[in-house]
Structure 1
Amino acid sequence: MDEIEEGLIEKVSFVKLSKHRTKILKILKKKIMMPSEIRKKDNLSYTHLSRYLNSLKEKGLIICLNEQSKKGRYYKITPEGEKVIEFMEELDK
């Protein structure tokens, strides 16, 4: 990555500060999922998972595809979230 977009480093830092945020983004990079499915892969309580999902959503790294639903919400990584993961992978090389 030659050019670093404004704010990308801040978002990378935000994600890297939490192993759970990192893992959730990596999980969502592979496919769209519900919190119950994410929880099985990361073994978090629903309360903690909800906090992580909300913080990632506030940063524009993930979106909820059916926000109006009380149950069965689906989450997807955004293009910005994919850039964050790609940049983190570059840093780890």
Structure 2
Amino acid sequence: MDEDKLYKILGYVKVSPYRTNTLKALRNTLKMPSEIAREINLSTSQVSAALSDLKKENLVVCVNEEARKGRLYKCSELGLEIIKLLN
């Protein structure tokens, strides 16, 4: 990915503390939205909205999309690259 696109996505994540903290919470593991919400002290609906935003930008992936409950999310390769730039 070229540098301009990378910085555009980085700015998109950084402008929202919800997106930033949600992405960081997924750094090295699979988690459900409720687990992320507890960890970063947000409501599950705030985390779900952030996950939706991050998914649209291909920063996170839902590994069990068919599940109605207990959906698990992880960082994509791009998401991990963005996390490195956030630190």
Whether 1:19 aligns to 2:12 is no
TM-score, L = length of structure 2:
0.90
User: Which residue does 2:28 correspond to in 1?
Assistant: 30
Counterpart of 2:60 (choices 58, 62, 72) is 62
Report the residue type matching 1:62 in the other structure. V
Counterpart of 2:45 (choices 32, 44, 47) is 47
Q: Could you list the structure 1 runs, at least 4 aligned residues long, displaced by more than 6 angstroms after superposition.
A: none
User: Which residue does 1:77 correspond to in 2?
Assistant: 75
TM-score, L = length of structure 1:
0.85
The CA RMSD measured in Å over matched residues stands at: 1.6
Report the residue type matching 1:20 in the other structure. Y
Q: Which structure has the larger Rg over C-alpha atoms?
A: 1
Runs of 5+ in structure 1 lacking a partner? none
Q: Across the two proteins, how many residue pairs are aligned to each other?
A: 87
Q: Percent identity?
A: 38
